[in-house]
Amino acid sequence: MKFCFESKEFIEHQIEPYRLAVVDDLRELTWLQFEQEVNLICSFFTKYQWDKFNKPVIIYGHKKAEMIVAIYAMMKLKIAYIPLDVIYPKQRISYIQKVSGAEVVLNCSHEPLNLEGTLEVKMEANEFRITGEKTIANSEKIISDDPLVYIIFTSGSTGEPKGVQITTKAIQSFTRWMTNDFGFTNKDVFINIAIFSFDLSVYEVMSFGALGATILLNDRATSDLPDKLMSRIEKYKGTVWVSTPSFALAYTRIGFDPKLSSLKYFLFCGETLPHSIAANLHKSFPSSIIFNTYGPTEATVATTKIEITRKILDAYNPLPVGFPKPESRIIIDKEKEDKNEGELIIIGDHVSIGYLNNPALNQQKFFSIDGQRSYRTGDLGYFENGLLFCKGRNDDQIKMHGYRIELNEISNTIRKLNLISDAVTVGLKKNNEVKKIVSFVILKNEMEKKELFAQLLPFLNKTLPYYMIPGDIDIVKNFHYNSSHKIDKNKLIEEYLDKQLNRI
């Protein structure tokens, strides 16, 4: 099979027709079957003359083989796709559809979306059923030297999600890195845990295809139960674990389990890798390789990596995130920071071409250095002995359980409720990791906290994904301000923690 991430320099790995390609909770597809299903979708699109789409296609569902098939069909047709998981509220999905202009939804779930202004294609058992009354005009496909592959929507500080556009050159750069520098082969089984709307999943989604390997999909019902997930890994002899460090925490507490004896690699991204987790994994799985990586969605999943060896564990705490990948550079803007630390700027073809329909933000974040794409990350870091270390954020963006969250989006959403006069949201940290999101609100009229929760939480659940819902709401009379006339969040946190202690 040939897909858009393959360049002339890309050496195609031998694909074995009867090796498992994709496994979900109900189906197992060999590479032969996978190719047949991909071609079915391509033929379906050609039949309706959708193969010339200039607009992206939404792929909706949760951890089904059909979603992977649809992704690879879109790549083969060179049509950009937007992965959306069922965890997202319909209001958020509707916003994404309007911003992107998507006219077709490939629905791999059991429930219809019925988005206004779209045709919905229900995908089930290689059959396609079209619903909706949208008329799609045929258009001449715009030929690009670097066509879009996908658009992933992340949390946005304005209160609305923003679409990160990733192109063919970016995917080519990423897959060359994955196939050449990590030691993976077509014999590997990639254990997928992250939803496809979260760019961490791109590690498995692109790598298994580039190698002709296997991707093992695990839905939330499986991922939430360690014993069930371990049994699944044992059954399919999973070799490559990909997750955020916080997800792996439960397994480091368990220690070595014979069900996980097939694991050869642990690959972490999305948040800080605590020294304790890496040390415990090193002890429990001495023959496995542990990779720590770093990178924002805007730079195609990750830009740096390092193998966490015993030597690295002994030398560094906190742990480094490693060295920039080939074809990339990271420089530090020290103008606004002290000493050797500063904002990280990523340079290379793997950098996004910008946010969809957001020129103002693109002007702030994306630019060119030496003729190459560059992105101002908002992450702080420094180099020591040639290794990159991350120090957190210089704005109101956090990472929690691997999800990137704009705290301002939560605050702006809360402010839309008529009961609220103002709101500010913070991430409570422990050992430099965000453990809880707390929103502080000023009410227009006095009411009990219980009554506020009864109205606010259903309102938030309609708009925000579950991982952005605050862990607590604290009612305050007013906000404290610092000498810069900005809200003193540290003072709010201090008073909040005092309240918690007084309740004990």
Single-letter code of the amino acid located at 150 = Y
Instruction: Specify the pTM.
Output: 0.88
Q: Is 48 helix (H, G, I), strand (E, B) or coil?
A: coil
pLDDT band at 11 (very low <50, low <70, confident <90, very high): very low
What average pLDDT is seen over the chain? 91
CATH-assigned architecture of domain 1-176: 3-Layer(aba) Sandwich (3.40)
Q: What is the mean pLDDT of residues 452-475?
A: 94
Return residue ranges of the chain for CATH 3.30.300.30. 398-503
pLDDT value at position 8? 38
pLDDT value at position 480? 83
CB 262 within 8 A of CB 238: yes
DSSP state of 272: -
How far apart, in whole angstroms, are the C-alpha atoms of residue 102 and residue 81? 9
Return residue ranges of the chain for CATH 3.40.50.12780. 1-176
Residue 392 has pLDDT above 90, yes or no: no
Which residues are CB-contacts of 378 (< 8 A; sequence separation ≥ 6)?
Answer: 343, 393, 394, 395, 397
Residue 364 has pLDDT above 80, yes or no: yes
User: Pick the residue with more confidence: 502 or 439?
Assistant: 439
Residue 71 has pLDDT above 90, yes or no: yes
Cα–Cα distances (Å) from 331 to 311, 312, 377, in that order, read 26, 23, 11
Read off the pLDDT of residues 141-152 as tens digits, 9 standing for 90 and up: 777 899 999 999
Percentage of residues in the chain having pLDDT higher than 70: 94
State which of 172-176, 428-432, 445-449 shows the largest mean pLDDT. 172-176
pLDDT band at 13 (very low <50, low <70, confident <90, very high): low
Q: What is the mean pLDDT of residues 299-316?
A: 97
Output phi, psi for 208, to 5 deg.
-65, -35
Cross-strand pairs, 446: none
Residue 35 has pLDDT above 90, yes or no: yes
Q: Is 185 helix (H, G, I), strand (E, B) or coil?
A: coil
224, two tokens:
């939430």
How far apart, in whole angstroms, are the C-alpha atoms of residue 411 and residue 441? 9
Read off the pLDDT of residues 154-189 as tens digits, 9 standing for 90 and up: 987 667 899 999 999 999 999 999 999 999 999 999
pLDDT value at position 492? 94
pLDDT value at position 421? 85
Cross-strand pairs, 426: 438
Report domain 398-503's class.
alpha beta
How far apart, in whole angstroms, are the C-alpha atoms of residue 399 and residue 272? 9
Residue 5 has pLDDT above 60, yes or no: no
User: Pick the residue with more confidence: 171 or 396?
Assistant: 171
Residue 413 has pLDDT above 80, yes or no: yes
Residue 10 has pLDDT above 80, yes or no: no
